Structure 1
Amino acid sequence: MTSITEANVCVVRVRQGISRITLRPSARITEEDGVRTREQLLALTGGSRGGVLLEITGVGSVSREAIGVYSSAVTVSAFAILGSTPVDRVIAHGLLGLPLPACPSAYFTDEDEALNWLQTVSE
């Protein structure tokens, strides 16, 4: 498993066609974090399209600018947003309520369900 970690974000290749972006708990994700994440994802995937498991469990906040960067990711074929707390759900609804890439997006509280969904919709 290949991974790239920065202060607020970790990007990991889970398996062929699926990557995981983990936002650090309590972090305030900025546009700069979003740009670094996009660059890390491109480096890991070589620019190939694929599904992304976006783990937001415990994240402090995600700026509109960061969401804009994530939303413009043309190599993402589907987003599974993974959280576990009521605050995560609020943040996820904010993410889902803003412009996302023209790809399927859904919120999950179970990682296996999220990965299975990504495998199905990313093919």
Structure 2
Amino acid sequence: MIGLLLVLHGSKIKEWQEIVINYAEELKRHFPLVEYGFIEINEPKIDEAAKKLVERGADTIVVVPLLFAAGMHFKRDIPNQLKETSNKAKIIIAEPIGFDKRIVDILKEKAEKALSVEGTSYQ
């Protein structure tokens, strides 16, 4: 069975965890097993979330980093934190978000909303 593991950096800001919970809930409509884990600061850590997926029956874990680029967290920290679980399930790490035109639309929408609150038009 496939498990989906959302991976985030982590933050002291409480809303960060609430955001990932919302993403996880939405993704459960597409994947039966979804967990999230943080690289640092917050709980659960990546390895704890991966172990939970294995306990729930995952034999393959698709790791989806909520990161824009493949920095050290992507190249070093995520694989290192999944070493133990890789003995129990196949680990597939998806590419970071990178550039995606769909995100451009979201950013444009956010900018337009901010301008409308200020009563300013960009056109």
Q: TM-score under structure 1 normalisation?
A: 0.36
Structure number with the higher strand fraction is 1
**Larger radius of gyration between Structure 1 and Structure 2:** 2
Higher-helix-fraction structure: 2
Per the normalisation by structure 2, the TM-score is 0.36
